[in-house]
């Protein structure tokens, strides 16, 4: 085959659609079976829409929520608000990933579900990769794109994995009387929560906190009652909402450490290449944009217009140009929130500096592509 894509999330599926449209033979390996939920804020900046439309993958048939306003609160409930210049849309990963998977299969992409990659080996003699699955199967491809998201089996072989991360993420779906055009970020001690509408009148409620915070409270329910609900806006959400699933989705040890966009001759995109802090709300758009960059460079390589060395050099350069500043600013912004006193001071200051809010948004979001 031409390209093996490891991971069937946003980056992997859109790259597969892009490469297939360019005439390449593509296989996607996904460890779960569609449709399924992921821990994700489920807000997407409108910067991605031109690309999705070029791929004939416009999400409009899913009837996503249209989001135009932003609100930020401190742990004590002090707020600031701002318009979203470019705007965005809310769509669950349950619906969007399944939609992209169906499009990919219909267009000739091979998707292997419930399959886990355990090793990828590059052969310089044949200039190809051999990928081994957990069930013993092997797949040979001219190029491999790693789009496997957070905490993959393959991450255990990477250098950043040796540094344990204190963060965990929790996601609920809710029904709630809440503004459908608003994305809100609410701070609490050692964490922050985001809420925004998705399709079918539902809301995604997702928060990031630390393992220590959960350990001190004992259970997620106690954490929400004793820590999140100190913020009066979060208390209202937790009290008034109808929780749609018995248990939330949870992911542990989320790492925001710098990563590489190319490792062992494998191109990486999405969270595998670098995870922006959820506070910035742009991880889904970055995954899609990374897929676009990778697909363009892989196409040139597969067409014989560039060598592998040139492929890797150009992709590293373009990935860093597009996302390097966003990730650095995201880590800086995350450091300003989570501690009650500092969060109160930052929110209080930004209330009187709307230009500062706009500047932070511009530095963590891109332009239409």
Q: For the segment 233-251, what is each residue's pLDDT rounded down to a tens digit?
A: 999 999 999 999 999 999 9
Sort 60 into a burial class: Cβ within 10 Å, 0-12 / 13-18 / 19+: exposed
pLDDT on residue 137: 97
357 versus 305: the higher-pLDDT residue is: 305
pLDDT on residue 344: 75
Q: Is 263 in a helix, a strand, or coil?
A: strand
Considering the four listed CATH numbers 3.40.640.10, 3.50.50.60, 3.40.50.2300, 3.10.20.30, the one that applies to the domain covering 3-364 is: 3.50.50.60
Least confident range of 97-101, 202-206, 262-266, 275-279: 275-279
Residue ranges covered by each domain of the chain? 3-364
365 versus 109: the higher-pLDDT residue is: 109
- CA nearest 168: which of 207, 119, 124? 207
Q: For the segment 97-107, what is each residue's pLDDT rounded down to a tens digit?
A: 999 999 999 99
- Dump strand ranges (E) for 48-157: 65-73, 79-90, 110-112, 117-123, 128-133, 138-141, 143-146
Q: Quote the CA–CA distance of 99 and 13 in Å, as a whole number.
A: 10
Quick check: bond before 35 cis, omega within 30?
yes
Q: Quote the CA–CA distance of 141 and 190 in Å, as a whole number.
A: 44
**pLDDT bracket for residue 328 (50, 70, 90):** confident
pLDDT at 345 over 70: yes
Instruction: Measure the N-to-C terminal CA separation of the chain; round to a whole number of Å.
Output: 28
pLDDT at 264 over 90: yes
- CA nearest 208: which of 186, 229, 226? 186
pLDDT at 279 over 60: no
Question: What is the sign, positive or negative, of the torsion defined by CA atoms of 23, 29, 32, 38?
Answer: negative
pTM greater than 0.75: yes
**pLDDT bracket for residue 280 (50, 70, 90):** low
Q: Quote the CA–CA distance of 137 and 27 in Å, as a whole number.
A: 14
How does strand 182-188 pair with strand 191-197?
A: antiparallel
Average pLDDT score over the chain: 90
Q: Quote the CA–CA distance of 4 and 25 in Å, as a whole number.
A: 9
The pLDDT of 22-34, averaged and rounded, is 98
pLDDT on residue 166: 86
pLDDT on residue 129: 98
pLDDT on residue 320: 92
Calculate what percentage of the chain has a pLDDT beyond 70.
Answer: 89
pLDDT at 158 over 80: no
164 versus 112: the higher-pLDDT residue is: 112
* Whether 263 contacts 344, CB under 8 Å: no
pLDDT on residue 336: 67
pLDDT at 14 over 60: yes
pLDDT at 62 over 70: yes
**pLDDT bracket for residue 56 (50, 70, 90):** very high
């Amino acid at each position: 085959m031409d390209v093996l894509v490891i991971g069937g999330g946003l980056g992997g599926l859109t790259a597969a659609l892009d490469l297939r449209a360019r005439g390449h033979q593509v296989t996607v390996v996904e460890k779960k079976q569609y449709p399924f939920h992921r821990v994700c804020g489920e807000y997407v900046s409108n910067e991605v829409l031109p690309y999705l439309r070029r791929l004939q993958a416009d999400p409009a048939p899913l009837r996503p929520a249209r989001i135009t306003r932003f609100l930020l609160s401190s742990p004590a409930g002090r707020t600031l608000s701002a318009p979203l210049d470019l705007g965005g849309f809310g769509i669950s990963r349950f619906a969007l990933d399944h939609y992209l998977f169906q499009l990919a299969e219909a267009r000739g992409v091979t998707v292997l579900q419930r399959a886990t990659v355990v090793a990828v080996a590059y052969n310089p003699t044949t200039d190809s990769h051999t990928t081994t699955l957990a069930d013993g199967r092997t797949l040979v491809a001219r190029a491999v794109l790693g789009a496997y998201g957070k905490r993959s089996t393959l991450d255990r072989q990477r250098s950043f994995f040796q540094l344990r991360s204190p963060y965990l993420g929790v996601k609920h779906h809710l029904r709630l009387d809440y503004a459908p055009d608003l994305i809100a970020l609410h701070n609490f001690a050692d964490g922050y929560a985001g809420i925004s509408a998705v399709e079918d009148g539902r809301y995604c409620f997702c928060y990031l906190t630390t393992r220590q915070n959960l350990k001190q409270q004992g259970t997620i329910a106690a954490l929400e009652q004793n820590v999140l609900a100190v913020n009066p806006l979060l208390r209202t959400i937790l009290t008034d909402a109808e929780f749609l699933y018995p248990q939330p989705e949870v992911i542990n040890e989320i790492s925001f450490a710098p990563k590489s966009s190319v490792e062992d001759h494998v191109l990486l995109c999405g969270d595998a290449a670098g995870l922006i802090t959820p506070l910035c709300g742009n991880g889904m758009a970055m995954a899609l944009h990374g897929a676009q960059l990778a697909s363009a460079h892989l196409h040139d390589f597969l067409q014989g217009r560039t060598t592998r060395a040139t492929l890797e050099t150009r992709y590293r350069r373009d990935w860093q140009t597009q996302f390097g500043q966003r990730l650095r600013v995201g880590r800086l912004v995350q450091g300003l929130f989570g501690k009650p006193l500092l969060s109160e001071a930052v929110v209080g200051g930004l209330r009187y500096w709307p230009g500062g809010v706009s500047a932070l948004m511009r530095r963590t979001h891109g332009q239409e592509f």
